[in-house]
Structure 1
Amino acid sequence: MFGYYIDLALRSLKRNKVLTALMVLAIAVGIGASMTTLTVMQLLSGDPLPDKSTRLYYPQLDPETGADVRRDPAPMLDYISAHDLWRSGKADRQTMIMDGAIKVQPGQPGQSPFMAPTVGVTSDFFPMFQVPFRYGGAWTPSDEAGAARQVVISDVLNQRLFGGANSVGRQVVLNGASVQVVGVLDHWRPRPRFYLLAGARNSGGQTAYFYGPPQDVYLPLPTALDINAGNFGWFTCWGKPDPSDLQRAPCESVALWVELDTPAKAAAYRRYLDAYDAQQRELGRLTHPANTRLMSLREWLAYQNVVPGDVKLQTWLAFAFLLVCLFNTVGLLLAKFLRRGGEIGVRRALGASRGAIFLQCLTESGVIGLLGGIGGLALTLLGLWLVHRQPVEYADIVALNVPMFLLTFVLAVAAALLAGVFPALRASRVPPALQLKTL
Structure 2
Amino acid sequence: MFGYYVELAVRSLRRNPVLTGLMVLAIAVGIGTSMTTLTVMHLLSGDPLPGRSEHLHYVQVTPYPQDATPTHPSEVMDDRSAMDLWKAKRADQQALLVGSTIKVHVPASTSPPLLLSMLSTHADFFTMFAAPFEYGGAWTAEDDEKHARVAVISSDLNHRLFRGENSIGKIIRLRDSDVRIVGVLKPWRPSPLFYDVYGGRMAHGDTADFYGKIEDVMTPFQSGLEINDGNFVQFTCWQLPPSPGHLQNAPCLWVRLWVRLQDDAKVAAYRRFVADYAAQQKAQGRFRHDLTAVPSLMEWMTSNRVVPGDVRLQVWLAFAFLAICLCNTVGLLLAKFLRRGADFSVRRALGATRGAVVMQCLVETGVIGIAGGLLGWLFTLAGLWLVRQQPVPYADMVRLDASMFMTTFVLAVTTSLLAGALPAIRAGRVAPALHLKTL
Q: Please indicate, yes or no, whether the TM-score normalized by the shorter chain is above 0.5.
A: yes
Pick closer, same or farther for the CA change 1:46–1:270 going to 2, 3 Å: same
Q: Does the alignment pair 1:92 with 2:92?
A: yes
Shift in Å, 1:201: 8.5
Contact 2:231/2:245 (8 A) holds in 1: no
Deviations 1:90-131 (A, max 9, x none): 111111000121111245755332211111101111111111
The letter of the residue matching 1:333 is L
**Structure 1: gaps of 5 or more residues:** none
Matches within 5 A, 1:168-207: 168-199=168-199, 205-207=205-207
Shift in Å, 1:438: 2.7
Deviations 1:285-306 (A, max 9, x none): 22x1321111111211111111
Shift in Å, 1:157: 0.6
SS at match of 1:412: helix
Contact 1:201/1:207 (8 A) holds in 2: no
Contact 1:59/1:256 (8 A) holds in 2: yes
Deviations 1:59-92 (A, max 9, x none): 1111112341211011001010001100111111
Contact 2:48/2:194 (8 A) holds in 1: yes
Shift in Å, 1:142: 2.2
Report the equivalent of 2:273.
Answer: 272
Matches within 5 A, 1:277-356: 277-286=278-287, 288-356=288-356
Percent of residue pairs bearing the same amino acid type: 56
Pick closer, same or farther for the CA change 1:171–1:403 going to 2, 3 Å: same
Shift in Å, 1:200: 6.4
Shift in Å, 1:311: 0.8
Pick closer, same or farther for the CA change 1:98–1:67 going to 2, 3 Å: farther
CA distance in 2, matches of 1:95, 1:173: 24
Report the equivalent of 2:248.
Answer: 247
Contact 1:229/1:243 (8 A) holds in 2: no
Shift in Å, 1:234: 5.5
Contact 1:150/1:220 (8 A) holds in 2: yes
The letter of the residue matching 2:305 is N
CA distance in 1, matches of 2:436, 2:204: 69
Task: Kindly report the root-mean-square deviation, in angstroms, between the aligned alpha carbons of the 2 structures.
Answer: 1.7
The letter of the residue matching 1:59 is V
Contact 2:205/2:306 (8 A) holds in 1: no
Contact 1:45/1:307 (8 A) holds in 2: yes
CA distance in 2, matches of 1:182, 1:255: 24
Contact 1:192/1:210 (8 A) holds in 2: yes
Contact 2:92/2:261 (8 A) holds in 1: yes
Contact 2:151/2:181 (8 A) holds in 1: yes
Contact 1:94/1:258 (8 A) holds in 2: yes
Shift in Å, 1:278: 1.8
Report the equivalent of 2:231.
Answer: 231
CA distance in 2, matches of 1:346, 1:108: 90
Report the equivalent of 1:128.
Answer: 128
Deviations 1:39-68 (A, max 9, x none): 111111111122221211111111112341
State the TM-score, normalized to the length of structure 2: 0.96
Aligned residues: 438
The letter of the residue matching 1:402 is A
CA distance in 1, matches of 2:234, 2:47: 24
Contact 1:29/1:379 (8 A) holds in 2: yes
SS at match of 1:97: strand
Moved more, 258-267 or 139-148: 139-148
Report the equivalent of 1:116.
Answer: 116
Shift in Å, 1:202: 9.8
SS at match of 2:421: helix
**Structure 2: gaps of 5 or more residues:** none
Contact 1:31/1:322 (8 A) holds in 2: yes
The letter of the residue matching 1:187 is P
The letter of the residue matching 1:269 is Y
CA distance in 1, matches of 2:414, 2:267: 44
Pick closer, same or farther for the CA change 1:395–1:244 going to 2, 3 Å: closer
Report the equivalent of 1:140.
Answer: 140
Matches within 5 A, 1:159-174: 159-174=159-174
The letter of the residue matching 1:332 is L
CA distance in 1, matches of 2:205, 2:148: 37
Report the equivalent of 2:420.
Answer: 420
Moved more, 216-225 or 241-250: 241-250
Contact 1:48/1:191 (8 A) holds in 2: yes
Deviations 1:355-410 (A, max 9, x none): 22111111110110010000110001011111111111111111111111111111
Shift in Å, 1:35: 0.9
SS at match of 1:51: coil
Moved more, 333-342 or 200-209: 200-209
Q: Does the alignment pair 1:79 with 2:79?
A: yes
CA distance in 1, matches of 2:8, 2:321: 31
Contact 2:62/2:77 (8 A) holds in 1: yes
SS at match of 1:230: coil
Contact 2:73/2:293 (8 A) holds in 1: yes
Deviations 1:335-361 (A, max 9, x none): 011111222222222332222211111
